[in-house]
Amino acid sequence: MIKPPVRLALQTVLTAIITIAMLMGCGDSVTEAVDEVVRCRSLPGDRTAKNVDAWKYDAIHDAMQLIDPGVDGLTIAQLTKRLAQTPKANLKAEIMDFEQVAEYVLLEMEVRGELVRMTNSTEESETVRFTKAPVPELAEGE
């Protein structure tokens, strides 16, 4: 039979071991989390879809809704610059490959009909600009 002082000491040590194990976890095993992705497509040229983390897509898409490209539209570079300057969004710091992801998202928005491509061609160059797609008007009774 174990004497009471020894039993108390063993219980204390066992409690300490269990507490440490709970705090440290079960070693180096890591559960891998799989993020949701959005497959971003492009209308012209390379039609290979690019996977973008859903949170990145949503952040850039939501910020894009705050930008008014105007009637003349903005180039991808101009839109990306405005996205980086969006108030209350620190997208450039949060998204490592910000410029590339922004381009993928903008092209996907074009495929979805949220942005419209406007092309201005001259003999020397071609400028591609994007503007928001017009909102279709509802017919009476809808």
pLDDT (tens digit per residue) in 27-40: 444 444 456 888 88
Least confident of 8-12, 30-34, 81-85: 30-34
- pLDDT exceeds cutoff 70 at 97: yes
* Predicted local confidence at residue 121, as pLDDT: 67
Alpha-carbon distance of 69 to 59, in angstroms, equals 18
Predicted structure pTM score: 0.65
Q: For 37-47, what is the mean pLDDT?
A: 77
Average pLDDT value over all residues in the chain:
78
pLDDT for residue 60 is more than 90: yes
pLDDT band at 16 (very low <50, low <70, confident <90, very high): low
Phi first, then psi: give them for residue 13, nearest 5 degrees: -65, -45
Which residue is listed with tokens 């039993």?
A: 7
Phi/psi for 80 (5° steps) reads: -65, -40
At 34 the pLDDT is: 53
